[in-house]
Chain A
Amino acid sequence: MADQREAILSRLVAVCGAVAGINAVDRNRLDVAGMLRPAVIILDGAETVGLPPAFDARGATVSHEQRMELRPTIIIAVRGDGGAEAGSLLTLYRNRVLAAILTDATLIASVSRNGGIRYEGCIVPEPDAEAKEYRIDLQIVFVYRFTLADLAP
């Protein structure tokens, strides 16, 4: 099997890039090239163990299977004029991006039957005075099975 973490993150880029109205998507950057808007920036975020690995009953020192949680940050960046329209644009693209991610068959398949995809909320950072750039950060958790075999080069 492929590295599930990479499979999920790569697929996220493709899914977000296909959302209607999104003009650019990039991964692990501070901004997209050309500052195109609306844009999505995906930060890989943290991968942590979801449940403490059970000790191998046979005494192995390495857990061959673990349940992992991947928490990428999905940033939607839009440009506004006065602020009011920016709020509705953030809502519009939050809805579109969330719907695309949570219904994508490839992403759902990548978390397998033992995992899942969980939307944990969003936050709109306080804008700077007179700013025209707005963003909303989505937090989505991907729970999936991690196996040593996935790490094979």
Chain B
Amino acid sequence: MTPGTLIARLDAAIAGYGQSVTLQRTAVDGATGGVTVAAEVTCPAKFRTFGPQDLGAGEVQDISVVISPTTLGTFGVPSRDDRIVIGGDPSNIEQIAPLYYGGQLVRVNLLCRG
């Protein structure tokens, strides 16, 4: 087993049942509080929604996301409160769990809320 094998298996799995999501890193105007997108990357991901906090459509819910490092590129590992846009709905990334094998990033687990 090598890191490359693990990544290839994850890529294949996500390609099978995943969906495209967009990760966004934001910048804030210190004078007005306006938010702009400073960097973003669109990548395939597997996600599962659970624990709805509100019964209203589009309301706050928790989302578990798995991303392969293959498509992260220069965006790198997401950080706290980067945003993830799934089906047009933005959520905040609240927990980030990068998994390494032999010192190489092979998978990123995220817990998002929004």
Give chain A's interface residues, CB within 8 Å of chain B.
21, 23, 29-31, 33-38, 78-81, 85-86, 88-89, 92-93, 128-133
Give A129 to B89 CA distance when docked, in angstroms: 24
Secondary structure of the A contact surface, majority rule: loop
Known: A129-B80, A131-B81, A132-B81. A35 touches B90 (CB 8 A): yes
| A34 pairs with B90, CB closer than 8 A | yes
Given contacts A35-B114, A79-B28, contact A130 B33 (CB under 8 A): no
Known contacts A37-B33, A132-B80, A30 near B59 by CB under 8 Å: yes
A residues in contact with B80, CB < 8 Å = 128-132
Identify the closest chain A residue to B90 (Cβ). Answer: A35
Q: Which residues of B contact A (CB under 8 A)?
A: 26-28, 30, 32-35, 53-54, 56, 58-60, 79-81, 83, 89-92, 94, 114
B94 / chain A contacts, CB cutoff of 8 Å: 128
- CB pair A89 B114 closer than 8 Å: no
Interchain Cβ contacts under 8 Å between A and B, 19 examples: A21-B32, A29-B56, A30-B53, A31-B59, A34-B90, A35-B90, A37-B33, A79-B26, A79-B28, A79-B33, A79-B35, A80-B28, A85-B30, A88-B30, A89-B30, A93-B33, A128-B80, A131-B81, A132-B92
